[in-house]
């Protein structure tokens, strides 16, 4: 029985790792903190693995990820701004890569300027492509709250100076 629990969790963690790290990266603004956040979340989920209904695993893990990020932010009380440096190869022939890196940096900087709740809604809704109801389930709030945070968060992203040159937020729907 214990072996089955371990195998099922290991399979879930391996399959979900890239998606969870991507979500955590958008929440934290830092890749290394994102990996740490996912590891902490998965460790806490593993302790409760047998009690989580199999139909609710994704919602449970996303909610745990967002809650652990909010706890991390409360403890640190520091705003993280991502100021990446362009790799040397991006300065040369591959202008598409340089543009993609600049867009990613602008998005990360703009996301860092949002409140933690707005950032969570925008990341889950537009970058993880969850429905508004799924976001409400993950964040354990009402549908109206999700819509309000999404509207205000997107308005703040559009008005952010990092997008003065860019006409739209990369990865976001209109």
Q: What are the tens digits of pLDDT across the range 10-67?
A: 999 999 999 999 999 999 888 999 999 999 999 999 999 988 888 889 999 999 999 9
Q: Would you state the pLDDT for residue 89?
A: 45
> What are the structural domains, with CATH classification, of the chain?
2-76 (1.10.1740.10), 88-163 (1.10.10.10)
CA nearest to 120, candidates 54, 49, 174, 72: 72
Greatest mean pLDDT among 76-80, 84-88, 101-105, 168-172 lies in 101-105
Query: Angle 2-28/57-76 helices, nearest 10 degrees?
Result: 50
Which has more pLDDT, 83 or 151?
151
Q: Would you state the pLDDT for residue 162?
A: 78
* Mean pLDDT, range 154-168, rounded to an integer: 75
Separate counts of helices (H) and strands (E) for the chain? 8, 0
Whether this prediction's pTM lies above 0.75 is answered by no
- The dihedral built from the CA positions of residue 135, 138, 144 and 148, taken in this order, carries a sign that is negative
Q: Would you state the pLDDT for residue 19?
A: 95
Give yes or no for a contact between 79 and 112, defined as CB atoms under 8 angstroms apart: yes
The CA-based dihedral angle spanning residues 28, 29, 30, 34, taken in that order and rounded to the nearest 10 degrees: 30
CA nearest to 154, candidates 101, 116, 110: 110
User: Residue 144 is inside which H or E element, if any?
Assistant: helix 143-159
């Amino acid at each position: 029985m214990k072996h089955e629990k371990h195998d099922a969790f290991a399979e879930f963690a391996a399959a979900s790792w890239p998606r969870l790290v991507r979500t955590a990266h958008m929440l934290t603004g830092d890749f290394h903190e994102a990996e740490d956040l996912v590891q902490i979340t998965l460790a806490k989920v593993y302790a409760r693995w047998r009690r989580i209904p199999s139909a609710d695993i994704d919602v449970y893990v996303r909610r745990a990820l967002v809650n652990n990020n909010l706890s991390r932010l409360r403890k640190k009380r520091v705003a993280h701004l991502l100021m990446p440096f362009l790799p040397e190869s991006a300065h040369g022939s591959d202008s598409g890569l340089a543009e993609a890196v600049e867009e990613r940096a602008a998005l990360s900087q703009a996301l860092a300027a949002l409140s933690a709740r707005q950032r969570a809604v925008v990341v889950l809704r537009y970058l993880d492509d969850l429905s508004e109801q799924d976001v409400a389930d993950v964040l354990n709030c009402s549908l109206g709250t999700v819509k309000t945070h999404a509207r205000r968060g997107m308005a703040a992203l559009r008005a952010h100076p990092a997008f003065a040159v860019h006409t739209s937020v990369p990865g976001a729907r209109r």
